[in-house]
Amino acid sequence: MVFGQVVIGPPGSGKTTYCNGMSQFLSLVGRKVAVINLDPANDALPYECAINIEDLIKLSDVMSEHSLGPNGGLVYCMDYLEMNIDWLEEKLKPLIEDHYFLFDFPGQVELFSLHTNARNIINKLIKKLDLRLTAVHLVDAHLCCDPGKYVSALLLSLSTMLHLELPHINVLSKIDLIENYGNLAFNLDFYTDVQDLSYLQYHLDQDPRSAKYRKLTKELCDVIDDFSLVNFSTLDIQDKESVGNLVKLIDKSNGYIFSSIDSSAVEFSKIAAAPLDWDYYRYPLLPLYKVYGD
């Protein structure tokens, strides 16, 4: 079995920086990592990638040849990759024996909430190469400072989870910078645990732009509450303990923690039933007043 992560997130979420930092961390703890860049818009990669989609198709060529903008060009590139999935499979096969995969996907949110090309690519790789993948969905933590943007981030996270149908971890990235955007209306655990969203209504009403859509916002929050699927872990990619805590969650979600043990039912049950101290692993090493309030 081969394990890895499907790394996704809207522009500004730090997706490519995450891949760079995560690959360095995993290498330091002894894993052989292969980063696969499937984002044609990545024109300045901070990491050394084992496979680069630009060897198959270039976004700039697509835009000029077909008179498409960046968004249309990315959709075309993903469609093209889906049709030529054999190219990617052949590139991956030599790495399967001993590598852990990080797939750096495009940041265009429509690819993971509306279009089927990215999902089809992932599903074909899982079936043909027996991959065990976790979707790591990055959301910029500063969105918590704006109730309207936070609700939007929740909707995006929920739709992505339902669309991809993978083991899924939502992450508030750049958590170390969140205090630069002002005080949060609630404690951090309100945003990570996605607690009763009705408490956001007062703060949404203070913004004239949001107040006029009060009924719509309430209905959307009810949808999120009814599914009760979304929560967030936190990440400071420059803090090795924060990265390590997230890796523990990912390893449990895709089964990596089971890969080095005997295949007896007893051994599996011991790990599956073991407490993971979820709250500890989901919060960064921030001073207590930053996490739990003054």
Sign of the CA dihedral running 13, 15, 20, 21: positive
d(CA 270, CA 264): 10
Full 3-state SS string of the chain: CEEEEEEECCCCCCHHHHHHHHHHHHHHCCCCEEEEECCCCCCCCCCCCCEEHHHCCCHHHHHHHHCCCHHHHHHHHHHHHHHCHHHHHHHHHHHCCCCEEEEECCCCCHHHHCCCHHHHHHHHHHHHHCEEEEEEEEEEHHHHHCHHHHHHHHHHHHHHHHHHCCCEEEEEECHHHHHHHCCCCCCHHHHHHCCCHHHHHHHHHCCHHHHCCHHHHHHHHHHHHHHCCCCEEECCCCCHHHHHHHHHHHHHHHCHHHCCCCCCHHHHHHHHHCCCCHHHHHCCCCCHHHHHCC
Mean pLDDT score of the chain, rounded to an integer? 87
Q: Quote the percentage of the chain above a pLDDT of 90.
A: 68
pLDDT at position 184 over 70: yes
The β-bridge partners of 7 are 104, 136
- Mean pLDDT throughout 37-49? 91
Q: How would residue 182 be classed by pLDDT, with cut points 50, 70 and 90?
A: confident
pLDDT at position 253 over 80: yes
Q: How would residue 259 be classed by pLDDT, with cut points 50, 70 and 90?
A: confident
Which class for 208: exposed (0-12), middle (13-18), buried (19 or more C-beta within 10 A)? exposed
pLDDT at position 156 over 90: yes
CB 140 within 8 A of CB 15: no
d(CA 16, CA 35): 10
Q: How would residue 220 be classed by pLDDT, with cut points 50, 70 and 90?
A: very high
pLDDT at 44: 84
pLDDT at position 120 over 90: yes
CB 32 within 8 A of CB 94: no
pLDDT at 290: 41
pLDDT at position 209 over 60: yes
- Mean pLDDT throughout 10-33? 93
Q: How remote is the C-alpha of 264 from its chain's centroid?
A: 32
The β-bridge partners of 5 are 102, 134
CB 137 within 8 A of CB 169: yes
Q: What is the pTM of this model?
A: 0.87
pLDDT at 287: 43
Q: Which domains does the chain have, with CATH numbers?
A: 2-193+230-260 (3.40.50.300), 195-229 (no CATH)
pLDDT at 27: 95
Helices 147-164, 117-129: crossing angle, 10 deg rounding: 40
- Mean pLDDT throughout 191-207? 85
Buried-state track 109-138, b at ≥16 Cβ within 10 A, e below 16? bebbbebebbbebbbebeeebebbbbbbbb
| 53-99 residue pLDDT tens | 999 999 999 999 999 999 999 999 999 999 999 999 999 999 999 99
d(CA 272, CA 268): 6
Structure-token match 């732009």, residue found: 209
> Between these two residues, 262 and 70, which has the higher pLDDT value?
70
pLDDT at position 172 over 70: yes
pLDDT at 36: 97
| 87-115 residue pLDDT tens | 999 999 999 999 999 999 999 889 998 89
pLDDT at position 164 over 50: yes
